[in-house]
Amino acid sequence: MFPFRRSKRILSAFAALLLLTCAGCLPSAPQSATPVPSNEPVVLAPPSASPLPTPLPEPALKYLFLFIGDGMGPKQVQAASEALLAGGREPLHFLGFPVVGNVRTKNIDRETTDSAAAATAIATGTKTLNGYLGLDENKNRLVEISETLRDMGRKVGILTTVSLDHATPAGFYAHVDSRRSYDMIADDLFASGFDFFAGGRFHDTPDVAEHAAENGYTILSSPADPAESADKLIVSSGLVFGDYGVPPAIDGGARAGWLKQCTALAISRLDQPNGFFIMVEGGRIDYFCHYNDAGSFVAELLDMNDALAEALAFYTAHPSETLILVTADHETGDVSLSEGDRAVLLRQTISCDNCDDTLVAQCVSAQTPFSDALPLFAAAFGLGELTADETAYLKEAYGHTLKGDLPSSKSNEEYGVYEPITSACATLVATRAGLRFGSGAHTGKDVSVYALGVGSEFFAGNYENTKLHDAILQAVAAYPLS
Ligand SMILES: [Zn+2]
């Protein structure tokens, strides 16, 4: 069949590309043999029995990865990609994938979706209302791709950097008509029987430990501390970091590499003869686009890209059995790009949340004068040399912060959701980078899907987000396990 052959070519080409990246490690080819003197007859050696190339095994779709950057529109991807390029760093892994599709994201009754309706569309192939999870607009229960694959014998892992009961991860296991029904969502999580979860902590579920024990789950505080037990696992970052979500990637520290480590642990726990389905969400890209913090959303996107490296390493070892998809549920922030120094997006080293909680709190408490505070903020946001206009802009914002003379709504209007000095620093980063936020909300913009591996050909084209579900099923049917 056509897709069968085409996929093999894609596999071969990409496997060759991956191998080429290691070509420098190989010993160089031997020099040609000493020339034969021309006055002697040339005796041709019998053709050597050169080994036939080992044929690739028949593709069978055993392992599926679905990476979802929440709020990750094409301009978010472009900004991160160009920042890496400007910073002399390795490009985003998924931009090299051989198949790219364009995905429309509207929900069933409006142009702009939320993460619940979008996750439901991707997971079930049915558009629904905002706020609904795993239900159609009439509240009929839908079957999620994760459930279908579980029933086909694959192990299932759901990973996110927001809380485990948040809309996108819940779209792959829950069936409720409100994304805020956290207690019911948690019940559905435990009833799913999925083998691995990783994310922040639960909301309204005080008896999580009890639920977990009853349903055969062991809760871990860290992916670095995997249980020996054969139980199903839940890695809950809240046990270490406290917050509902995993702390911002840009703030580093103990948080660094958390999603990558969880992805590696999921792969090692779920690899079995019938394969797995692993959904990994970069959930805080959306959060920082809502709050117009450009350096922080880029850090979240790069954090998901680091986790993707684990899937790529697995693909390299299992190229004829693995499909990797990278996509988004919708765009957030109405991001546009113009001329600018994208590398400044990589120099910011603090999230606006953390800046408010630490640097601003300390300065306000000590009533630190602007001349002393400015170098601290400039360093945290990687601002370097400041022009007179930039300095004046920060000075005015800092004055408002010290005096606390802007009510939160006014601060929101003039500067953003953070303290005026924090928002002003984030605005300077974005302005220098040539990045502009048109809003603090979701938009109806299209997103992209990047596909690599067995069945990737089903993801080319221009289509509604529901097709992602359908195309996964098509790929699974086209490349069955023997
Ligand atoms: Zn959002």
CA of 71 to the centre of ligand 1 (A): 6
Å from CA of 442 to ligand 1 middle: 6
Same domain for 327 and 348, yes or no, is no
CB contact at 8 A, 129 and 336? no
Assign residue 276 a region (left: φ > 0; alpha: ψ between -120 and 50; beta: otherwise): beta
**Rounded Cα distance, 22 and 198, in Å:** 32
Distance from the alpha carbon of residue 301 to the mean position of ligand 1, in angstroms: 15
Please give the pLDDT value at position 242: 65
pLDDT tens, N- to C-terminus, the chain (482 residues): 333 333 333 444 444 444 333 333 333 333 333 333 444 444 444 555 566 766 667 999 999 999 999 999 999 999 999 999 999 999 999 999 999 999 999 999 999 999 999 999 999 999 999 999 999 999 999 999 999 999 999 999 999 999 999 999 999 999 999 999 999 999 999 999 999 999 998 887 778 888 888 999 999 888 988 767 777 999 988 776 667 788 899 999 878 999 999 999 999 999 999 999 999 999 999 999 999 999 999 999 999 999 999 999 999 999 999 999 999 999 999 999 999 999 999 999 999 999 999 999 999 999 999 999 999 999 999 999 999 999 999 999 999 999 998 876 666 667 778 999 999 999 999 999 999 999 999 999 999 999 999 999 999 999 999 999 999 999 999 999 97
In terms of Cβ atoms closer than 10 Å to its own Cβ (0-12, 13-18, 19+), residue 51 is exposed
Give me the residues near ligand 1 (ion), CB cutoff below 5 Å.
286
Asked if residue 276 belongs to a domain, the reply is yes
Is there a single domain that holds both residue 166 and residue 183?
Answer: yes
Please report the pLDDT score of residue 16 as a whole number.
40
Strands (E), 168-275: 196-199, 217-220, 232-236
368 and 445 both lie in a single domain: no
Report how far ligand 1's centroid is from the alpha carbon of 279 (Å): 18
**Chain mean position to CA 48:** 50
Beta strands in 170-212 (DSSP E): 196-199
Note the pLDDT of residue 47.
52
How close is the Cα of 113 to the center of ligand 1, in Å? 9
Query: Can you say how many angstroms the Cα of residue 341 is from the centroid of all Cα atoms in its chain?
Result: 24
| d(CA 114, ligand 1 centre) in Å | 7
Quote the pLDDT of residue 39: 46
Looking at this protein, which amino acid is placed at residue 457?
E
pTM > 0.85: yes
pLDDT at residue 228 in the model: 73
Question: Is residue 322 located within the same domain as residue 365?
Answer: no
Is the separation of the CB atoms in 429 and 340 below 8 Å? Answer: no
Q: Which residue has the tokens 């480590």?
A: 261
Ligand 1 centroid from CA 101, angstroms: 22
- Asked if residues 430 and 443 have their Cβ atoms less than 8 Å apart, the reply is no
Residue 9 domain-assigned?
no
Residues 183 and 329 in one domain: yes
Cα of 158 vs centre of ligand 1, distance in Å, is 19
Distance (Å) from CA 171 to ligand 1 centroid: 14
Phi, psi at 150, each rounded to 5°: -60, -45
Kindly report the number of other CB atoms within 10 A of residue 459's CB atom: 25
| pLDDT given at position 253 | 83
324 located within any domain: yes
Residue 112's Cβ-count burial label (10 Å; 0-12, 13-18, 19+) is middle
Let me know if residue 301 belongs to a domain: yes
- CA 437 – ligand 1 centroid, Å: 14
DSSP string, 108-134: SSSSS--HHHHHHHHHHS----TT-BS
Same domain assignment for residues 223 and 327: yes
Residue 468 within a domain? yes
Residue 318 within a domain = yes
Is the same domain home to 417 and 472? no
Return the H-helix or E-strand segment holding 304: helix 294-317
Domain-located, residue 5: no
Cα 69 to averaged position of ligand 1 atoms, centre (Å): 11
**Domain identity same for 102 and 210:** yes
| Beta strands at 447-453 and 322-328: parallel, antiparallel or unpaired | antiparallel
Read off the DSSP letter of residue 196.
Answer: E
Examine residue 1 and state whether it is found in any structural domain, yes or no.
Answer: no
Residues 119 and 242 in one domain: yes
Pairwise CA distance, residues 482 & 60, whole Å: 8
Domain count within the chain: 2
Pairing type for strands 276-282 and 155-160 reads parallel
Q: What is the CATH number of the domain that holds 220?
A: 3.40.720.10
CA–centroid distance, 32 to ligand 1, in Å, is 62
* Structural domain span for residue 161: 63-337+440-478
How far is C-alpha 448 from the chain's CA centre?
A: 13
Q: Are residue 314 and residue 417 in the same domain, yes or no?
A: no
Same structural domain for residues 420 and 446? no
Query: Are 164 and 293 members of one domain?
Result: yes
